[in-house]
Amino acid sequence: MAGLAESGSNPDVDLLYDINSLARDAPRWFDRVMEFVGEYGLLLAMVLLVLGCWWSVRRRGGQGAAAAVAALVWAPLAAGLAVLVNVPIRGFVQRPRPFLDHQGLDVLVPGKTDYSFVSDHATITMAMAVALFVVDRRFGLAGIGLALFEGFCRVYMGVHYPTDVVGGFALGTAVALLLSPLAMALLTPLMKAVEGSAWGGRLVRARRTGGAGDAVVSGCPADERASAEDRDLAA
């Protein structure tokens, strides 16, 4: 399986050259920006997006806050677990980096000697994005957009085939969704315990509901908001 894409006559390699050719034609400063964004920047952006979603869930509060925070805790755990699952996949497929088999690529990050399939960066970003989507569709769509751009950057940089990226997207999505019920069953009681503790309650929600001042916010009763949050989380 090491020769999965050794010929330039297949669409995977053709698309690799088409996207990577943009790097050859771009100014050097732009390539340096893309190198940083593709290697570190988008991973940092995903972490900030998860933190932003946590802040939003915490401020909103409601009965579903603990479950929502549990799902957010699952996001980085899903990404880490997906990378671990990728270790035997890479060892089985043993696909070399594209610049080792194909000449003329503009490689922005030289020195990578590990196997190419599947892309860890694509796996991590998509796993976190899908986990975010379960909690909040707006943050989730933003995360999916970042993951797609990450995949483009990896091919642009000449370090992955397009199918490496697609494989990473599939792996990240599968881990985030298929193991989510088990993760939620374990993490939700934990987050409820944190919510009820004196030291950790504000990590789950910023304010308690149930008082007269908290009964209605923006014309929406607290129990209706919680019900809507639960529906969004289960969607």
What does the pLDDT read at residue 233?
A: 52
DSSP string, 86-130: HHHHHHHH-PPPHHHH-SS---SSTT--S--SSPHHHHHHHHHHH
Average pLDDT over residues 82-106: 91
What pLDDT, on a 0 to 100 scale, did the predictor assign at position 224? Answer: 47
Q: Which pair of tokens denotes residue 215? A: 């009964």
Average pLDDT in the 148-175 region? 95
Task: Tell me: pLDDT of 85 over 70.
Answer: yes
Q: Is it the case that residue 221 has pLDDT exceeding 90?
A: no
Residue 153's closest CA among 2, 46, 4? 46
Taking residues 53-70, report their average pLDDT: 82
* Per-residue confidence (pLDDT) for residue 213, from 0 to 100: 35
pTM: 0.80
Tens digit of each residue's pLDDT (9 = 90 or more) over 6-21: 444 688 899 999 999 9
At 211, the pLDDT band (50, 70, 90 cuts) reads: very low
pLDDT for the residue 197: 74
In this predicted structure, what is the pLDDT of residue 106?
87
* SS3 call for 6: coil
CA distance readout (Å), 129 to 43, 143, 215: 11, 4, 32
113 has a pLDDT exceeding 60: yes
Confidence of residue 148 (pLDDT cuts 50, 70, 90): very high
CA–CA dist 106, 54 (Å, integer): 39
Question: What is the pLDDT, as a whole number, of residue 203?
Answer: 75
Is the pLDDT assigned to residue 89 strictly greater than 50? Answer: yes
Q: What pLDDT does 133 receive?
A: 94
Q: What is the average pLDDT across 144-172?
A: 96
Backbone angles phi, psi at 74, to 5 degrees: -65, -30
- The reported pLDDT for the residue numbered 208 is 54
Task: Please give the pLDDT value at position 222.
Answer: 42
Helix (H) or strand (E) holding 70: helix 65-93
pLDDT at 50 over 90: yes
Asked if 135 and 71 touch (Cβ cutoff 8 Å), the reply is yes
Taken in order 54, 61, 185, 139, is the CA torsion positive or negative?
negative
Mean pLDDT in residue range 64-74 = 87
Q: Is the pLDDT of residue 162 over 90?
A: yes
What's the pLDDT score for residue 207?
59
